[in-house]
Amino acid sequence: MGFSKGKLGAPLEGNVVIGFLDTGIWPESDSFNDEGMSAPPAKWKGKCIGANFTCNNKLIGARWYNSENFFDITDFPSPRDSEGHGTHTSSTAAGREVQGASYFGLAEGAARGGVPNARIAMYKVCWSYGCSSADILAAYDDAIADGVDIISVSLGSDFPFPYMEDPIAIGSFHAMKNGILTSNSAGNSGPYPYSVSNCAPWTLTVAASTIDRKFVAQVVLGNGLALSGLSINNFDLNGTTYPLIWGGDAVNFSAGVNTEIAGYCFPGALNSYKVERKIVLCDTMVTGSDILIANGVGVIMSDSFYSVDFAFSFPVPATVISNEDRVKVLNYIRTTENPTATILVAQGWKDVVAASVVSFSSRGPNPITPDILKPDITAPGVDILAAWSPVAPPSIDYKDTRSVNFNIISGTSMSCPHTSAAAAYVKAGHPNWSPAAIKSALMTTATIMDPRKHVDLEFSYGSGQINPEHALNPGLVYNASEADYINFLCKQGYNTTTLRMITGSNSSVCNSTTPGRAWDLNYPTFALAVEDGQPIQGVFTRTVTNVGNSYSTYTVSTYMPYSVSITVEPSVLTFSKIGEMKTFTVKLYGPVIAQQPIMSGAITWKDGNGHEVRSPVVVYNILPGYEYGIPTSSMTTQKTDKFEGPSMYHKTGILGRH
């Protein structure tokens, strides 16, 4: 990301507090030491609540919420983290520098968060069984009152909810009213379209992209053939070869299993007499725990989805190969009298195609408001090393009893805190900027992603990958206020009753209930959803605020596919002072289209002094009747107490996905 070290300095970073809604935190982790840190900023009103739990000048606040009063045997009734997830996300965003961090020797080096001098406040809303809506809303209320500056939410739902039914959308609206930006995960339901969660325009929705290191664990067969698979394999077999068997040849007949089930190595499917002291070939990805139970020594798994762009840790020597390579292994087993193999320790290979959006990262279009492009941005979320709870399993096997202080995991849960850190960095440099201004700065300065790697283009990566240093000096920002978002909601079909479910204010009113497109919300991107069989036609109004040089002139450049006509009026914006605002319109015209996948372009304002303010423009088809996110009549009768009880919300780290 071009962000090896921030340039603002500890005093400015130390004024910023990042609040995390997560699984808690391990306060004794080296990532949260407060050596050399000053007292918390004077504005801080938070508390540290919990038995056997101590805060310091780094971790300045910790609360926990469990409205169901239900605890699993692994749960601590305190802010202490038994899952690892919250420790990982918070150290990614703001962990202090720790020398010699590694996962059992893998990825060894200095680990640090994006803003290592920022303060951390943890709001534990998630437990071993998930996260409840009531707890999320209560945590938002406390975080706002405590005085956080940025809220990081690595949580999501598998299903899109209207904003009035979504606790993260509601909580983040209240945060926005109080000058606090929420950064949240796009979700792990990719690469399927319309899978993005956290769609509210007042939040920053983050996709996950790869980094330039991948973990490769090779399998070497007895005939010398070496096959590469993805795995964070730390087990060293010292090159020793072991007998190799296909799971389908080790059927547990006593359990009523057949060859096909055993081939998949499903729980209880393997004959331990045949598997003992052998490496097992499985036809899908498994946790590896059943190989251990059957006394096997290692596992080779085949899965063409999980062998492409991210890796897992397992409780046994393991790797995940492609389905094509599985055929080679099975052929070797079938043609060899005594087949053998070994699995090598993982190596960190250079990934020359990074950065690209990872397969599991949720995709647009926006299922709630098609005229708002989501996700907004992408950030590293694959094979991320960060702090971990020593009592949490260090692999995908929840029974793995090994203990680590750092772990390598993947998910949009991991990309979200990268962007939370970038937002905190911008906030440290510009403490008076609004949430929308910070969001705009991050989006318009993002590094452009390679469209040739992504068939779904901006629906996978939004504006591009975060570039924190550039975001500190964006030149122009697209600002927006609570009133702008209220106008947006009213045009989306909300009435005064449903609007107040989001705003929580009796003064919020929808004077007009006439539905309209979201084209005049002052958003840093442009999305035109066209019904099948309709012409390309849209007029967008935007206002930019000068935050660059006092005297500056910006000239627009545009790019769109040849079938789309784009005009920007005026094409030149001249500013004479900081804070000055200028309005312009963007008009898109084109022929009738139907069944058209995403077409993308961009408009960029340049001042000739290094500022390039870039906004993606996307045009795509939707089915008739989907252009507004209008609440149905049944939604308007919902009561606010509907948030009581558990919800579908879960952590968006792959290891922590429920």
Residue 5 CB partners (closer than 8 Å, separation 6+): none
Amino acid letter for position 260: E
Q: Give the separation between CA 478 and CA 542, rounded to whole angstroms.
A: 8
Q: Is the peptide bond before 191 cis (omega within 30 degrees of 0)?
A: yes
152 an active-site residue? Answer: no
377/465 Cα distance (integer angstroms): 6
* 434 assigned to active site: no
Q: Is the dihedral of CA 432, 436, 439, 441 positive or negative?
A: negative
DSSP string, 160-188: ---GGG-HHHHHHHHHHHTT-EEEEE--S
Q: CA 150, CA 333: separation in Å to the nearest integer? A: 55
Counting every residue, how long is the chain? 658
Least Cα distance to 615 among 549, 540, 536, 563 occurs for: 540
> Is there a contact between 382 and 208 (Cβ–Cβ < 8 Å)?
yes
DSSP secondary-structure letter at 511?
S
* CB contact set of 233 (below 8 Å; sequence gap of 6+): 215, 217, 313, 314, 317, 318, 319, 343, 344, 345, 346
The label of the residue with tokens 């702008």 reads: 484
* DSSP-assigned states of every residue in 337-367: SS-EEEEPPPEEEE-TT-S-B-TTS---S-S
**Which residue in 524, 214, 233 sits closest to 350, CA to CA?**
214
Q: Which two tokens stand for residue 39?
A: 């007292």
Catalytic residue among 29, 81, 85, 133: 85
Determine whether 22 is an active site residue.
yes
Among 250, 255, 215, 249, which Cα is nearest to 235's?
215
Q: Exactly one of 413, 434, 440, 460 is catalytic; which is it?
A: 413
What's the CA gap between 219 and 321, in Å, rounded?
A: 9
| Sign of torsion over alpha carbons 148, 422, 455, 451 | positive
| Cα(93)–Cα(79) distance, integer angstroms | 18
Token reading at 532: 């099948």
d(CA 120, CA 90): 7
Q: CA 358 → CA 209, 231, 309, 455, distances in Å? A: 5, 16, 6, 12
Name the DSSP letter for residue 548.
S
* Phi, psi at 485, each rounded to 5°: -70, -35
Which residues neighbour 562 within 8 Å (Cβ) at sequence distance 6 or greater?
none
Residue 597: Cβ-neighbour burial (10 angstroms; 0-12, 13-18, 19+)? exposed
Q: Which residues are catalytic?
A: 22, 85, 413
